[in-house]
Structure 1
Amino acid sequence: MAAAVPFCREAGEGPTVVCLHSNASHSGQWRGFQDRLADRFHVVAVDGYGAGKSPEWPGPGGPTLADEVSLLAPVLARASTPAFLVGHSYGAAVALKAALLHPGRFAGVAVYEPTLFELVDQRSPPPNDADGIRAAVAAAMACLARQDEDGAARCFIDFWMGAGAWERMPAERKPAMAHSVRHVEHWARALTTEPATQADLRALTMPVLCMAGERSPRSSLGVMEVLLTALPQPRELRFAKLSHMAPVTHPEPVNAAIDEFLESLVR
């Protein structure tokens, strides 16, 4: 069987920056970031499995984070050496996994609230900070069992963006997002069974920009706390009044911070 090829949006020339999107999103969330950096970097935004224009996962059970990294193979094959990684939420978890699987390949990683919930469970068994996302996933899966994609999307989006966020979302954006949430069980499995440990993360000796919103759920902030103690060179940045979806809802300050981080590494 031929290897899957992801859909990519590309802009600019220079050192390669690979951008990975959040759940229920696609590479288009990085358009503004690409426009900002295109005069200095080759920015490649990738659709993950089952997102945007990339193929669906071909096997049973959904992809692991390692499988998502394997999908990036053609992108990494033509990327500069070294390259950089940027990720948000699930995409940030994939970015860290890519750095672990390709030692020495990346000169820097910028992540906004990676959802590596297994790290929280490794630190302390439930009940813990990951209880909130577990409850949201269970509620979404119950809706899907009733063939209620809209209800599942409401459970998932409202957890990350606050109560009522789904109702306030523009109607034209809802169908594609509701359809994507059918993958919620697979996303949760990948993030809660990821075998990477704090000891593994200590091998990531490149600078890692760890970004978070002060209004984000405890589930993702708990992951950030683990990362900040495990990574050798973390650079912490908290955004006042912003939450987990800030790279989508308030991209300017987030994009500016990533831009400054990358510039500091290529000077």
Structure 2
Amino acid sequence: MTTPTPHVRATGAGPAVICLHANASTSSQWRDLGDALSARHRVLAPDLYGAGRSPDWPSDSRIALRDEVDFLAPVFDQAGESYVLIGHSYGAAVALIAAVTWPERVHALAIYEPTLFAVVDAQQPQPNGTEGIHAAVAASVAALEAGDLHEAARHFIDYWMGDGSLAAMPEQRQQPVAESMRNVRRWAHALTTAPTPLEAFAALDMPLLYMLGASSPESVHAVARALIPRLPKVEVVEFAGLGHMAPVTHPDIVNAEIVRFVAAMAP
């Protein structure tokens, strides 16, 4: 059986930077950042399982973040012995698990609102700030099981971006987002089960930029409250007026912060 390998968008030359995208997105969300970094860095932006031009995961309901990390092993190997990891949302959660798995290879981390809800639920039962995302996922799954991908996308996207956000998207963008909702059950499984112990993140002894949107849903702020105190070399940046999808909706603002951080990490 052929081992599945990710499709990778690659640009530039120099020390490696790996960029991991959010759910309902693809590696293309990092195109502008790749352009900004490519003069001095080799930028590798893979499509995760079931996204963009990468192969699909064989189950529609179960996947672990470690499965995503294993899938990306060829990208990490291509990056060499040391690299900077960048991630947004689900991609930020994958980046954290990759750093826990291979801390000696990750030179630095820049993450925007990792969605590691399991660490919050393991720390404290609900109500704990994660109720909104659990409700949104349940509504999306119900719509998916009823055969309505658009309604599944509406629940999911509007939770993250505000009521009416899916409807406000160009029609040509709505369809691929709706199609991506076939993955919602496995995204939820990856992010809400088998939590990595918080103590594992305390061992991440590398510079880490943790970015937040002040207007983001409470669920990601709950994750931040659990994670940030455990991270030994963390720098926190909160963007006033921005939300969870700011790396996509306001890439100029977020990318400028990432470029600053990556430049400071240069050998």
Q: Deviations over 1:19-75 (max 9, x none)?
A: 000000000000000000010110001100000000001356432100000111111
Deviation at 1:240, TM superposition (A): 0.4
1:123 paired with 2:123, answer: yes
Distance 1:260 1:82 in 2: 19
Q: Which amino acid counterpart does residue 48 of structure 1 have in structure 2?
A: L
TM-score normalised over the length of structure 2? 0.98
Q: Which amino acid counterpart does residue 238 of structure 1 have in structure 2?
A: E
Q: Deviations over 1:149-208 (max 9, x none)?
A: 000000000000000101101100011110001111110110011331110101101011
Give unmatched runs, 5+ long, in structure 2: none
Q: Which amino acid counterpart does residue 171 of structure 1 have in structure 2?
A: E
Look up the match of 2:7. 7
SS in 1 for 2:81: coil
Distance 1:252 1:265 in 2: 20
* Worse overlay, 117-126 or 60-69: 60-69
Distance 1:170 1:197 in 2: 41
Aligned counterparts, 1:169-208, within 5 A:
169-208=169-208
Deviation at 1:225, TM superposition (A): 1.4
Look up the match of 1:91. 91
Distance 1:81 1:142 in 2: 44
Q: Deviations over 1:62-98 (max 9, x none)?
A: 3210000011111111213211100000000000000
SS in 2 for 1:56: coil
Q: Which amino acid counterpart does residue 152 of structure 2 have in structure 1?
A: A
Look up the match of 1:133. 133
* Worse overlay, 11-20 or 189-198: 189-198
Deviation at 1:253, TM superposition (A): 1.0
Q: Deviations over 1:226-251 (max 9, x none)?
A: 11111111110000000000000000
Rate the CA distance shift 1:163–1:60 in 2: closer, same or farther, 3 A. closer
Contact kept, 8 Å, 1:65 with 1:194, in 2: the verdict is no
Contact kept, 8 Å, 2:24 with 2:180, in 1: the verdict is yes
Contact kept, 8 Å, 1:20 with 1:87, in 2: the verdict is yes
Look up the match of 2:149. 149
Contact kept, 8 Å, 1:228 with 1:234, in 2: the verdict is yes
SS in 1 for 2:190: helix
Give unmatched runs, 5+ long, in structure 1: none
Aligned counterparts, 1:1-267, within 5 A:
1-59=1-59, 61-267=61-267
Contact kept, 8 Å, 1:37 with 1:43, in 2: the verdict is yes
Distance 2:91 2:194 in 1: 14
Distance 2:81 2:259 in 1: 19
TM-score normalised over the length of structure 1? 0.98
SS in 1 for 2:265: helix
Rate the CA distance shift 1:249–1:122 in 2: closer, same or farther, 3 A. same
Identity among equivalent pairs (%): 49
The Cα RMSD (Å) is: 1.0
* Worse overlay, 88-97 or 53-62: 53-62
Deviation at 1:103, TM superposition (A): 2.2
Distance 1:194 1:257 in 2: 32
Distance 1:43 1:231 in 2: 25
Q: Which amino acid counterpart does residue 38 of structure 1 have in structure 2?
A: S
SS in 1 for 2:242: coil
